[in-house]
Chains A and B, each alone.
With several copies, the nearest count.
Chain A
Amino acid sequence: MPRLGLDVDQYLRTQVLPTVWCPGCGNGNTVEGLATAFARMDVDPTQVVVVGGIGCSGRTPFYVKTNAMHTTHGRALAYATGLKMAQPKLTVVVTMGDGDALAIGGNHFIHAARRNIDLTVILYNNGIYGMTGGQEAPTTPLGSRTTTSLTGSIERTFDTVEIALAAGATYVARTTTFDMQEIPLRIEEAITHPGFAVVEVLSQCPTYYGRLNQIGDTTDMLVWERDRTEGLPVKMANRQELLGELKTGVFRNEKSVEFTKAYSDLCARVGGSYGLS
Protein backbone atom coordinates (compact mmCIF):
# COMPACT_ATOMS: atom_id res chain seq x y z
CA MET A 1 0.00 0.00 0.00
CA PRO A 2 2.65 2.43 -1.00
CA ARG A 3 0.45 5.45 -1.32
CA LEU A 4 -1.04 5.66 2.12
CA GLY A 5 0.15 8.86 3.66
CA LEU A 6 2.85 9.63 1.10
CA ASP A 7 2.69 12.22 -1.62
CA VAL A 8 3.92 9.92 -4.33
CA ASP A 9 2.33 12.02 -7.04
CA GLN A 10 4.85 14.76 -6.66
CA TYR A 11 7.36 12.35 -8.20
CA LEU A 12 5.13 11.37 -11.11
CA ARG A 13 4.98 13.26 -14.39
CA THR A 14 1.22 12.91 -14.47
CA GLN A 15 0.85 15.06 -17.55
CA VAL A 16 2.15 12.19 -19.71
CA LEU A 17 -0.05 9.52 -18.14
CA PRO A 18 -1.41 7.06 -18.99
CA THR A 19 1.86 5.32 -19.70
CA VAL A 20 2.51 3.67 -23.06
CA TRP A 21 2.52 0.33 -21.35
CA CYS A 22 0.00 -2.40 -22.04
CA PRO A 23 -2.91 -3.10 -19.74
CA GLY A 24 -1.65 -5.20 -16.85
CA CYS A 25 2.03 -4.60 -17.54
CA GLY A 26 4.06 -4.70 -14.37
CA ASN A 27 6.25 -1.75 -15.27
CA GLY A 28 3.89 0.72 -13.65
CA ASN A 29 4.24 -1.06 -10.31
CA THR A 30 7.96 -0.53 -10.36
CA VAL A 31 7.56 3.10 -11.32
CA GLU A 32 5.20 3.49 -8.42
CA GLY A 33 7.79 1.79 -6.24
CA LEU A 34 10.48 4.17 -7.43
CA ALA A 35 8.31 7.23 -6.88
CA THR A 36 7.38 5.89 -3.46
CA ALA A 37 11.02 5.43 -2.55
CA PHE A 38 11.69 9.00 -3.64
CA ALA A 39 8.77 10.16 -1.53
CA ARG A 40 9.98 8.21 1.48
CA MET A 41 13.42 9.71 1.06
CA ASP A 42 11.99 13.12 0.25
CA VAL A 43 14.57 13.69 -2.47
CA ASP A 44 15.01 16.97 -4.32
CA PRO A 45 13.95 16.04 -7.86
CA THR A 46 16.38 18.49 -9.42
CA GLN A 47 19.23 16.58 -7.81
CA VAL A 48 18.10 13.20 -9.09
CA VAL A 49 18.50 11.82 -12.59
CA VAL A 50 16.66 8.73 -13.70
CA VAL A 51 18.52 7.29 -16.64
CA GLY A 52 16.71 4.79 -18.81
CA GLY A 53 17.68 2.50 -21.62
CA ILE A 54 15.52 1.56 -24.56
CA GLY A 55 12.71 -0.89 -24.11
CA CYS A 56 9.28 -0.71 -22.53
CA SER A 57 10.86 -0.37 -19.12
CA GLY A 58 13.41 2.07 -20.50
CA ARG A 59 10.61 4.61 -20.75
CA THR A 60 10.51 4.91 -16.96
CA PRO A 61 12.34 8.26 -16.85
CA PHE A 62 9.45 9.91 -18.67
CA TYR A 63 7.07 9.02 -15.87
CA VAL A 64 9.15 9.93 -12.88
CA LYS A 65 9.21 13.66 -12.22
CA THR A 66 12.93 14.06 -11.66
CA ASN A 67 15.56 14.78 -14.26
CA ALA A 68 15.20 12.18 -16.98
CA MET A 69 17.66 10.79 -19.45
CA HIS A 70 16.28 8.28 -21.92
CA THR A 71 19.39 7.01 -23.65
CA THR A 72 20.19 4.35 -26.25
CA HIS A 73 19.62 0.61 -26.12
CA GLY A 74 22.05 -1.04 -23.75
CA ARG A 75 24.15 2.03 -22.94
CA ALA A 76 22.28 3.56 -20.03
CA LEU A 77 24.93 2.58 -17.51
CA ALA A 78 27.69 4.09 -19.60
CA TYR A 79 25.80 7.36 -19.82
CA ALA A 80 25.12 7.19 -16.12
CA THR A 81 28.78 6.56 -15.35
CA GLY A 82 29.81 9.72 -17.17
CA LEU A 83 27.02 11.70 -15.59
CA LYS A 84 27.77 10.53 -12.07
CA MET A 85 31.49 11.18 -12.47
CA ALA A 86 30.81 14.67 -13.80
CA GLN A 87 28.50 15.61 -10.95
CA PRO A 88 29.05 13.10 -8.17
CA LYS A 89 26.54 14.69 -5.86
CA LEU A 90 23.62 13.80 -8.09
CA THR A 91 21.58 10.74 -7.22
CA VAL A 92 21.55 8.59 -10.33
CA VAL A 93 19.08 5.76 -10.80
CA VAL A 94 19.27 3.62 -13.91
CA THR A 95 16.21 1.77 -15.16
CA MET A 96 16.67 -0.94 -17.74
CA GLY A 97 14.93 -3.94 -19.20
CA ASP A 98 16.49 -7.36 -19.01
CA GLY A 99 17.47 -7.27 -22.67
CA ASP A 100 18.72 -3.73 -22.34
CA ALA A 101 20.81 -4.48 -19.25
CA LEU A 102 21.98 -7.99 -19.96
CA ALA A 103 21.86 -8.61 -23.71
CA ILE A 104 23.14 -5.54 -25.55
CA GLY A 105 24.12 -3.81 -22.33
CA GLY A 106 25.77 -6.72 -20.55
CA ASN A 107 29.23 -5.29 -20.83
CA HIS A 108 28.41 -1.97 -19.24
CA PHE A 109 26.55 -3.81 -16.52
CA ILE A 110 29.56 -5.85 -15.49
CA HIS A 111 31.96 -2.94 -15.76
CA ALA A 112 29.84 -0.53 -13.76
CA ALA A 113 29.56 -3.27 -11.14
CA ARG A 114 33.31 -3.78 -11.24
CA ARG A 115 33.97 -0.12 -10.58
CA ASN A 116 31.46 -0.07 -7.74
CA ILE A 117 30.31 3.32 -8.84
CA ASP A 118 27.46 4.76 -6.81
CA LEU A 119 24.57 4.07 -9.19
CA THR A 120 21.32 2.30 -8.50
CA VAL A 121 20.17 -0.09 -11.17
CA ILE A 122 16.54 -1.09 -11.35
CA LEU A 123 16.42 -4.03 -13.71
CA TYR A 124 12.93 -4.86 -14.94
CA ASN A 125 13.10 -8.53 -15.76
CA ASN A 126 10.08 -9.69 -17.73
CA GLY A 127 12.01 -12.52 -19.37
CA ILE A 128 11.39 -11.18 -22.83
CA TYR A 129 11.80 -8.22 -25.17
CA GLY A 130 8.60 -6.33 -24.68
CA MET A 131 9.14 -3.25 -26.79
CA THR A 132 10.02 -5.08 -30.00
CA GLY A 133 7.25 -7.61 -29.64
CA GLY A 134 8.21 -10.65 -27.66
CA GLN A 135 11.60 -11.94 -28.72
CA GLU A 136 13.86 -14.08 -26.60
CA ALA A 137 15.95 -12.39 -23.90
CA PRO A 138 19.00 -13.79 -22.11
CA THR A 139 16.71 -14.08 -19.09
CA THR A 140 13.99 -16.00 -20.90
CA PRO A 141 13.40 -19.14 -18.85
CA LEU A 142 14.64 -22.20 -20.74
CA GLY A 143 11.87 -23.76 -22.79
CA SER A 144 9.71 -20.63 -22.87
CA ARG A 145 8.09 -19.55 -26.08
CA THR A 146 9.00 -16.22 -27.60
CA THR A 147 8.57 -14.99 -31.16
CA THR A 148 12.15 -16.06 -31.84
CA SER A 149 11.84 -19.37 -30.02
CA LEU A 150 8.40 -20.51 -30.97
CA THR A 151 9.13 -24.11 -30.08
CA GLY A 152 10.70 -23.19 -26.76
CA SER A 153 13.93 -21.42 -25.93
CA ILE A 154 17.08 -23.53 -26.09
CA GLU A 155 19.42 -20.87 -24.71
CA ARG A 156 20.47 -21.09 -21.11
CA THR A 157 19.27 -18.35 -18.81
CA PHE A 158 21.29 -15.64 -17.14
CA ASP A 159 20.89 -15.28 -13.43
CA THR A 160 21.12 -11.53 -12.91
CA VAL A 161 22.08 -11.97 -9.30
CA GLU A 162 24.98 -14.30 -10.08
CA ILE A 163 26.34 -12.00 -12.75
CA ALA A 164 26.03 -8.92 -10.58
CA LEU A 165 27.79 -10.64 -7.71
CA ALA A 166 30.61 -12.01 -9.84
CA ALA A 167 31.16 -8.65 -11.49
CA GLY A 168 31.45 -6.92 -8.13
CA ALA A 169 28.16 -5.19 -7.33
CA THR A 170 28.05 -4.40 -3.62
CA TYR A 171 24.28 -4.36 -3.15
CA VAL A 172 22.24 -7.00 -4.97
CA ALA A 173 18.57 -7.73 -4.43
CA ARG A 174 15.72 -9.36 -6.26
CA THR A 175 12.02 -8.82 -5.82
CA THR A 176 8.88 -9.10 -7.91
CA THR A 177 5.83 -7.07 -8.80
CA PHE A 178 3.86 -9.65 -6.90
CA ASP A 179 5.74 -8.48 -3.81
CA MET A 180 5.05 -4.89 -4.79
CA GLN A 181 5.34 -3.56 -1.25
CA GLU A 182 8.96 -4.63 -1.22
CA ILE A 183 9.89 -2.66 -4.31
CA PRO A 184 10.20 0.78 -2.70
CA LEU A 185 12.03 -0.71 0.27
CA ARG A 186 14.65 -2.39 -1.89
CA ILE A 187 15.00 0.69 -4.05
CA GLU A 188 15.47 2.90 -1.04
CA GLU A 189 18.14 0.56 0.33
CA ALA A 190 19.84 0.54 -3.04
CA ILE A 191 19.85 4.30 -3.44
CA THR A 192 21.11 4.74 0.09
CA HIS A 193 23.86 2.18 -0.49
CA PRO A 194 27.14 3.93 -1.32
CA GLY A 195 28.23 1.86 -4.30
CA PHE A 196 26.87 -0.05 -7.24
CA ALA A 197 23.46 -1.43 -6.33
CA VAL A 198 21.20 -3.69 -8.32
CA VAL A 199 17.52 -4.28 -7.69
CA GLU A 200 16.10 -6.85 -10.04
CA VAL A 201 12.32 -6.73 -10.25
CA LEU A 202 10.67 -9.74 -11.84
CA SER A 203 7.83 -8.18 -13.74
CA GLN A 204 4.97 -9.43 -15.87
CA CYS A 205 4.66 -8.88 -19.61
CA PRO A 206 1.17 -10.20 -20.16
CA THR A 207 1.15 -9.09 -23.80
CA TYR A 208 4.04 -11.22 -24.96
CA TYR A 209 5.44 -13.52 -22.36
CA GLY A 210 2.03 -14.21 -20.90
CA ARG A 211 0.25 -14.70 -24.16
CA LEU A 212 2.95 -16.77 -25.86
CA ASN A 213 3.27 -19.04 -22.87
CA GLN A 214 -0.46 -19.22 -22.20
CA ILE A 215 -0.14 -18.16 -18.63
CA GLY A 216 -3.59 -16.71 -18.52
CA ASP A 217 -4.83 -13.25 -17.61
CA THR A 218 -2.92 -10.51 -15.86
CA THR A 219 -3.66 -11.77 -12.37
CA ASP A 220 -2.60 -15.28 -13.39
CA MET A 221 0.77 -13.81 -14.30
CA LEU A 222 1.18 -12.45 -10.81
CA VAL A 223 0.38 -15.85 -9.38
CA TRP A 224 2.90 -17.44 -11.71
CA GLU A 225 5.45 -14.91 -10.56
CA ARG A 226 4.79 -15.78 -6.96
CA ASP A 227 5.03 -19.48 -7.70
CA ARG A 228 8.39 -19.30 -9.44
CA THR A 229 10.05 -17.36 -6.67
CA GLU A 230 10.43 -18.04 -3.06
CA GLY A 231 11.33 -15.28 -0.68
CA LEU A 232 14.51 -15.49 1.35
CA PRO A 233 14.71 -13.96 4.77
CA VAL A 234 15.27 -10.44 3.61
CA LYS A 235 18.30 -9.59 5.72
CA MET A 236 20.91 -11.51 3.83
CA ALA A 237 20.80 -14.51 1.59
CA ASN A 238 23.59 -17.01 1.47
CA ARG A 239 24.51 -17.30 -2.15
CA GLN A 240 25.34 -20.97 -2.09
CA GLU A 241 21.85 -22.03 -1.21
CA LEU A 242 20.38 -20.45 -4.28
CA LEU A 243 21.76 -22.47 -7.09
CA GLY A 244 19.02 -23.63 -9.39
CA GLU A 245 16.33 -21.54 -7.77
CA LEU A 246 15.00 -18.10 -8.34
CA LYS A 247 14.79 -16.65 -4.90
CA THR A 248 14.06 -13.14 -3.83
CA GLY A 249 15.75 -11.12 -1.15
CA VAL A 250 18.96 -9.25 -0.61
CA PHE A 251 21.98 -11.23 -1.78
CA ARG A 252 24.76 -8.85 -0.93
CA ASN A 253 24.95 -5.62 0.99
CA GLU A 254 28.59 -4.85 1.54
CA LYS A 255 30.74 -1.78 1.74
CA SER A 256 33.73 -1.49 -0.54
CA VAL A 257 35.60 1.48 -1.99
CA GLU A 258 33.17 3.46 -4.09
CA PHE A 259 34.46 4.77 -7.39
CA THR A 260 33.79 8.51 -7.18
CA LYS A 261 35.38 8.38 -3.73
CA ALA A 262 38.43 6.54 -5.05
CA TYR A 263 38.66 9.04 -7.86
CA SER A 264 38.39 11.95 -5.49
CA ASP A 265 41.27 10.50 -3.48
CA LEU A 266 43.31 10.08 -6.64
CA CYS A 267 42.76 13.73 -7.55
CA ALA A 268 43.73 14.82 -4.08
CA ARG A 269 46.90 12.76 -4.35
CA VAL A 270 47.98 14.66 -7.45
CA GLY A 271 46.78 18.02 -6.22
CA GLY A 272 43.38 18.24 -7.88
CA SER A 273 40.13 19.08 -6.17
CA TYR A 274 37.28 16.90 -7.40
CA GLY A 275 33.58 17.64 -7.19
CA LEU A 276 33.00 15.45 -4.18
CA SER A 277 35.17 17.49 -1.88
Chain B
Amino acid sequence: MASVERDQIRIRLAGKGGQGIMLGGAILAEAAMLDGLRVAETQEYGPEARLGATKADLIISNRQIAFPEVHKADFLLCLSRPAYLRYAKTVAEDGLMIAEKILREEMGDSPNVVYLPLRASALSLGNELYTNIIGLAALAAFSGAVTKESLENSVRSRVKAETVLANFAALDLGYKLAEEADSSRLVSAAASKLSR
Protein backbone atom coordinates (compact mmCIF):
# COMPACT_ATOMS: atom_id res chain seq x y z
CA MET B 1 0.00 0.00 0.00
CA ALA B 2 1.21 3.36 -0.92
CA SER B 3 0.66 4.82 2.49
CA VAL B 4 3.70 7.03 2.30
CA GLU B 5 2.76 8.93 -0.83
CA ARG B 6 -0.85 9.47 -0.01
CA ASP B 7 -2.21 12.66 1.37
CA GLN B 8 -5.61 12.05 2.93
CA ILE B 9 -8.59 9.78 2.64
CA ARG B 10 -11.99 11.05 3.70
CA ILE B 11 -14.37 8.43 4.96
CA ARG B 12 -17.93 8.67 6.11
CA LEU B 13 -19.81 5.92 7.90
CA ALA B 14 -23.56 6.43 7.89
CA GLY B 15 -26.49 4.53 9.25
CA LYS B 16 -29.27 4.88 11.71
CA GLY B 17 -29.15 4.91 15.50
CA GLY B 18 -28.29 1.55 16.97
CA GLN B 19 -26.34 0.35 13.94
CA GLY B 20 -22.98 0.87 15.58
CA ILE B 21 -21.80 3.78 13.49
CA MET B 22 -20.01 5.43 16.42
CA LEU B 23 -18.25 2.22 17.32
CA GLY B 24 -17.33 1.70 13.68
CA GLY B 25 -15.79 5.14 13.55
CA ALA B 26 -13.75 4.49 16.64
CA ILE B 27 -12.54 1.14 15.34
CA LEU B 28 -11.52 2.50 11.99
CA ALA B 29 -9.78 5.49 13.60
CA GLU B 30 -7.86 3.28 15.94
CA ALA B 31 -6.84 1.02 13.09
CA ALA B 32 -5.46 4.03 11.25
CA MET B 33 -3.58 5.02 14.35
CA LEU B 34 -2.13 1.54 14.65
CA ASP B 35 -1.02 1.85 11.05
CA GLY B 36 1.03 4.86 12.08
CA LEU B 37 -1.24 7.28 10.32
CA ARG B 38 -2.80 10.47 11.53
CA VAL B 39 -6.51 10.42 11.94
CA ALA B 40 -9.31 12.67 13.10
CA GLU B 41 -12.70 11.22 13.74
CA THR B 42 -15.86 13.22 14.36
CA GLN B 43 -19.43 12.07 14.83
CA GLU B 44 -22.96 13.25 14.82
CA TYR B 45 -24.58 13.47 18.23
CA GLY B 46 -27.91 14.12 19.79
CA PRO B 47 -31.40 12.69 19.80
CA GLU B 48 -31.80 12.84 16.06
CA ALA B 49 -28.68 10.72 15.78
CA ARG B 50 -30.24 8.05 17.94
CA LEU B 51 -33.06 7.38 15.57
CA GLY B 52 -32.62 8.94 12.16
CA ALA B 53 -29.59 9.22 9.97
CA THR B 54 -26.31 9.39 11.85
CA LYS B 55 -22.72 9.47 10.73
CA ALA B 56 -19.09 9.29 11.72
CA ASP B 57 -16.46 11.07 9.66
CA LEU B 58 -12.81 10.14 9.45
CA ILE B 59 -9.91 11.83 7.84
CA ILE B 60 -6.94 9.53 7.56
CA SER B 61 -3.66 10.98 6.45
CA ASN B 62 0.09 10.78 6.76
CA ARG B 63 0.33 14.52 7.31
CA GLN B 64 -1.12 16.78 9.97
CA ILE B 65 -4.87 16.96 9.65
CA ALA B 66 -6.23 20.46 9.87
CA PHE B 67 -9.90 20.61 8.93
CA PRO B 68 -11.43 17.54 10.56
CA GLU B 69 -14.79 17.11 8.90
CA VAL B 70 -15.73 15.34 5.73
CA HIS B 71 -17.67 17.38 3.24
CA LYS B 72 -17.11 15.17 0.23
CA ALA B 73 -16.33 11.58 1.09
CA ASP B 74 -13.91 9.41 -0.83
CA PHE B 75 -15.67 6.46 0.74
CA LEU B 76 -19.12 6.32 2.21
CA LEU B 77 -20.43 3.30 4.03
CA CYS B 78 -24.20 3.44 4.08
CA LEU B 79 -26.21 1.06 6.19
CA SER B 80 -29.75 2.41 6.18
CA ARG B 81 -32.43 4.08 4.18
CA PRO B 82 -32.48 7.45 6.00
CA ALA B 83 -28.68 7.58 5.79
CA TYR B 84 -28.86 6.94 2.07
CA LEU B 85 -31.40 9.67 1.58
CA ARG B 86 -29.34 12.13 3.51
CA TYR B 87 -25.74 11.36 2.66
CA ALA B 88 -25.70 9.87 -0.82
CA LYS B 89 -25.03 13.31 -2.19
CA THR B 90 -21.95 13.75 -0.04
CA VAL B 91 -19.88 11.22 -1.94
CA ALA B 92 -17.08 12.85 -3.93
CA GLU B 93 -17.32 12.67 -7.69
CA ASP B 94 -14.61 10.08 -7.85
CA GLY B 95 -15.64 8.56 -4.53
CA LEU B 96 -17.31 5.28 -3.78
CA MET B 97 -20.38 4.37 -1.78
CA ILE B 98 -20.62 0.96 -0.19
CA ALA B 99 -24.28 0.41 0.60
CA GLU B 100 -26.49 -2.21 2.15
CA LYS B 101 -27.91 -4.34 -0.62
CA ILE B 102 -31.53 -4.07 0.52
CA LEU B 103 -31.40 -0.43 -0.51
CA ARG B 104 -30.67 -1.23 -4.15
CA GLU B 105 -34.29 -2.08 -4.80
CA GLU B 106 -35.45 1.38 -3.85
CA MET B 107 -32.44 3.46 -4.81
CA GLY B 108 -31.34 1.74 -7.97
CA ASP B 109 -27.88 1.33 -9.41
CA SER B 110 -25.38 4.04 -10.10
CA PRO B 111 -21.74 3.88 -11.12
CA ASN B 112 -20.20 4.89 -7.79
CA VAL B 113 -22.30 2.68 -5.59
CA VAL B 114 -21.46 -0.88 -4.70
CA TYR B 115 -24.29 -2.74 -2.98
CA LEU B 116 -23.28 -5.51 -0.61
CA PRO B 117 -25.56 -7.87 1.36
CA LEU B 118 -24.19 -6.64 4.66
CA ARG B 119 -27.20 -7.32 6.77
CA ALA B 120 -27.88 -10.71 5.29
CA SER B 121 -24.28 -11.64 5.87
CA ALA B 122 -24.49 -10.48 9.47
CA LEU B 123 -27.59 -12.58 9.96
CA SER B 124 -25.69 -15.47 8.48
CA LEU B 125 -23.21 -14.97 11.31
CA GLY B 126 -26.10 -15.15 13.71
CA ASN B 127 -26.53 -11.49 14.63
CA GLU B 128 -27.58 -8.43 12.73
CA LEU B 129 -25.24 -6.41 14.94
CA TYR B 130 -22.25 -7.52 12.87
CA THR B 131 -23.51 -5.47 9.95
CA ASN B 132 -21.29 -2.53 10.80
CA ILE B 133 -18.14 -4.65 11.14
CA ILE B 134 -18.76 -6.34 7.83
CA GLY B 135 -19.30 -2.96 6.24
CA LEU B 136 -16.17 -1.62 7.82
CA ALA B 137 -14.12 -4.48 6.46
CA ALA B 138 -15.54 -3.93 2.99
CA LEU B 139 -14.75 -0.28 3.22
CA ALA B 140 -11.21 -1.07 4.33
CA ALA B 141 -10.86 -3.41 1.42
CA PHE B 142 -12.04 -0.89 -1.13
CA SER B 143 -10.24 2.07 0.32
CA GLY B 144 -7.02 0.54 1.49
CA ALA B 145 -7.21 3.15 4.23
CA VAL B 146 -6.07 0.76 6.93
CA THR B 147 -4.44 -2.67 7.00
CA LYS B 148 -6.46 -5.69 7.93
CA GLU B 149 -4.04 -6.41 10.74
CA SER B 150 -4.65 -3.08 12.35
CA LEU B 151 -8.34 -3.39 11.83
CA GLU B 152 -8.27 -6.69 13.67
CA ASN B 153 -6.22 -5.28 16.49
CA SER B 154 -8.53 -2.34 16.79
CA VAL B 155 -11.60 -4.55 16.78
CA ARG B 156 -10.05 -6.73 19.45
CA SER B 157 -9.49 -3.76 21.72
CA ARG B 158 -13.02 -2.41 21.31
CA VAL B 159 -15.37 -5.35 21.47
CA LYS B 160 -16.19 -7.71 24.30
CA ALA B 161 -13.66 -10.54 24.61
CA GLU B 162 -16.22 -13.26 23.96
CA THR B 163 -17.22 -11.74 20.63
CA VAL B 164 -13.73 -11.21 19.20
CA LEU B 165 -13.72 -14.33 17.08
CA ALA B 166 -17.17 -13.68 15.69
CA ASN B 167 -16.12 -10.17 14.86
CA PHE B 168 -13.02 -11.43 13.12
CA ALA B 169 -15.26 -13.68 11.07
CA ALA B 170 -17.34 -10.62 10.24
CA LEU B 171 -14.20 -8.83 9.09
CA ASP B 172 -13.24 -11.73 6.85
CA LEU B 173 -16.71 -11.76 5.42
CA GLY B 174 -16.55 -8.06 4.69
CA TYR B 175 -13.27 -8.36 2.84
CA LYS B 176 -14.66 -11.30 0.93
CA LEU B 177 -17.85 -9.49 -0.06
CA ALA B 178 -15.82 -6.59 -1.36
CA GLU B 179 -13.55 -8.81 -3.41
CA GLU B 180 -16.42 -10.75 -4.86
CA ALA B 181 -18.42 -7.70 -5.67
CA ASP B 182 -15.95 -5.68 -7.63
CA SER B 183 -12.36 -6.63 -7.07
CA SER B 184 -11.25 -4.21 -9.73
CA ARG B 185 -12.02 -1.32 -7.44
CA LEU B 186 -10.19 -2.64 -4.44
CA VAL B 187 -7.61 -0.25 -3.07
CA SER B 188 -7.25 1.44 -6.44
CA ALA B 189 -10.00 3.80 -5.49
CA ALA B 190 -7.87 4.90 -2.64
CA ALA B 191 -4.70 4.96 -4.64
CA SER B 192 -6.28 7.31 -7.11
CA LYS B 193 -6.97 9.80 -4.34
CA LEU B 194 -3.53 9.54 -2.87
CA SER B 195 -1.33 10.41 -5.78
CA ARG B 196 -1.99 14.10 -5.66
A–B contact (CB under 8 angstroms): yes
* A131 x B51 contact (CB < 8 A): no
Chain A residues whose CB sits within 8 angstroms of the CB of B48 once the complex forms:
20
Main secondary structure of the interface of B (DSSP, over half): helix
* Chain A 129-163 interface 0/1 with B at a Cβ cutoff of 8 Å (1 = within): 00100000000000000000000000000000000
Q: How large is the interface on A (under 10, 10 to 19, 20 to 34, 35 or more residues)?
A: under 10
* A18 x B51 contact (CB < 8 A): yes
Chain A residues whose CB sits within 8 angstroms of the CB of B51 once the complex forms:
18, 20-23
With an 8 A cutoff between CB atoms, is A56 at the interface?
Answer: yes
Query: Which B27-79 residues sit within 8 Å CB-CB of chain A?
Result: 47-48, 50-52
Q: Which chain B residue lies CB-closest to A20?
A: B47
Chain A residues whose CB sits within 8 angstroms of the CB of B50 once the complex forms:
20, 22, 207
Query: Which A8-47 residues sit within 8 Å CB-CB of chain B?
Result: 18, 20-23
* Distance in angstroms between the alpha carbons of A115 and B105 in the assembled complex: 57
* Chain A 177-214 interface 0/1 with B at a Cβ cutoff of 8 Å (1 = within): 00000000000000000000000000000010000000
Chain B residues whose CB sits within 8 angstroms of the CB of A22 once the complex forms:
17, 50-51
Residue from B17, B18, B48, B51 with most neighbouring chain A CB atoms (10 Å): B51
Q: List the interface of chain B (C-beta within 8 A of A).
A: 17-18, 47-48, 50-52
> Lowest 10 A-B CB distances belong to which pairs?
A20-B47, A22-B50, A20-B48, A20-B51, A131-B47, A22-B51, A56-B47, A207-B50, A21-B51, A22-B17
A-B contact pairs, 17 of them (CB 8 A): A18-B51, A20-B47, A20-B48, A20-B50, A20-B51, A20-B52, A21-B47, A21-B51, A22-B17, A22-B50, A22-B51, A23-B18, A23-B51, A56-B47, A59-B47, A131-B47, A207-B50
